[in-house]
Structure 1
Amino acid sequence: MIIGLVRIDDRLIHGQVATVWVKDANVSRIIVVNDEVAHDEVRKTLLKQVAPPSVKASVVSIDKLIRVYKNPKYENDRVMLLFTNPFDVERVIQKGIPLTSINIGGISYKEGKVKVNKSNFLNKEEATCFRRLAEKDIELDVRGVVSDPKEDMIKLLDKQNL
């Protein structure tokens, strides 16, 4: 499996992801990786329906992603991995999928979260998780849309004392 883009966006598949990011990353498949969503048949069906016609969409658990990643049948598939949070990304890395860059597009506001930029709100645990990912020399590219200038998550966290 060739990973063209890893993105954290709790909206999952939406207009920007389905059109611009898919084209920019030149992927033929979007894989939503989330244990909760993978077990919700309604959400799975909806996510598959909103993918563009030229792109296949799958919704899988973390364990299933690991199996698929290791399956030679998919070794030439160029994919986008789409997550809702940094913890799931960290688990995927711990289970053996090497990642070098993560695009952080949008993490919604919830009570107790701090605004990091216009599209991302984090709590202390999420900030700490991003710091652990950065310690592994993983690029943390904060951009909502392809044309936005890249921002470094760690610099944004430092500004907010997170």
Structure 2
Amino acid sequence: MKIKGRFIMATHIVLTRIDNRLVHGQVGVVWTSSIGANLLLVANDNTANDKLQQELMSATAESSGVGIRFWTIQKTIDNIHRASDRQKIFLVVRNPQDALKLVKGGVPITQLNIGNMHFSEGKEQITKKVYMDQADKDALTEIANSGVDVFVQDVPEDRKQSLKEVI
């Protein structure tokens, strides 16, 4: 348990993943069943206000038999401590900066899986499906330095590569 303010927070988050696509078949089916999650929590400010994205991701969650919630980063920070004991949460964020905000906000993240980070201008290829710029590397390093196990792993069958191995 971690203590944040007056709250004693049990860690109900079984895994946190960075994935530009957020919830899709690989996340909603393969990862969710592999880690035993029963709730997908998408922490992303844009998606929390985009009904179309929510509908598409909800269909994936429904096909896996798990619940899904769409919260802003701040709502996640403010409410994650209220998770019930029966909730096994798979927390999904779009980028390292959002993950860092959650960690700094006291969200009890112990493991951060880097899944897909697509190419964009200024990003270099780190692994087959992960591209980063210096801001990404800095955010991930800060997260790792706070005690979070940060690793790259596309699918559960792949070998985990620690952050130190890839950057």
- Under a length normalisation based on structure 1, what TM-score does the superposition of the two structures give? 0.90
For 1:114-135, what per-residue CA distance to the aligned partner results, in whole angstroms no more than 9, with x for missing partners? 0000010001100111111111
- Are residue 148 (structure 1) and residue 158 (structure 2) matched? yes
Query: How far apart, in 2, do the equivalents of 1:32 and 1:133 lie?
Result: 19
Kindly report which structure 2 residues correspond to 1:95-110, keeping only aligned pairs within 5 A, or say none.
95-110=105-120
- Are residue 68 (structure 1) and residue 79 (structure 2) matched? yes
Give the letter for the 1:61 counterpart: T
Aligned counterpart, 1:22: 32
Is residue 103–residue 143 contact of structure 2 (8 Å, CA) maintained in 1? no
Q: Give the drift of 1:3.
A: 0.7
Aligned counterpart, 2:146: 136
Q: Give the drift of 1:113.
A: 0.4
SS in 1 for 2:115: strand
Cα distance change on mapping 1:142 and 1:53 into 2, 3 Å: closer
Cα RMSD (Å) of the superposition?
A: 1.4
Q: Greater CA deviation, 77-86 or 15-24?
A: 15-24
Query: How far apart, in 2, do the equivalents of 1:47 and 1:106 lie?
Result: 16
Identity, in percent, stands at 28
Q: Give the drift of 1:34.
A: 0.4
Aligned counterpart, 1:59: 70
Q: Which runs of 4+ in 1 moved over 2 A?
A: none
Q: For structure 2, list consecutive stretches of 5 or more residues without a partner in the other structure.
A: 1-10
Q: For structure 1, list consecutive stretches of 5 or more residues without a partner in the other structure.
A: 158-162
Query: How far apart, in 1, do the equivalents of 2:118 and 2:64 lie?
Result: 27
Of 91, 110, 129, the match for 2:101? 91
Give the letter for the 2:66 counterpart: V
Q: Give the drift of 1:41.
A: 1.7
- Under a length normalisation based on structure 2, what TM-score does the superposition of the two structures give? 0.88
For 1:49-99, what per-residue CA distance to the aligned partner results, in whole angstroms no more than 9, with x for missing partners? 221341011111012112331226x34311100011111111111111122
- Report the count of equivalent residues: 156
Is residue 13–residue 108 contact of structure 2 (8 Å, CA) maintained in 1? no
Aligned counterpart, 1:13: 23
Of 6, 9, 13, the match for 1:3? 13
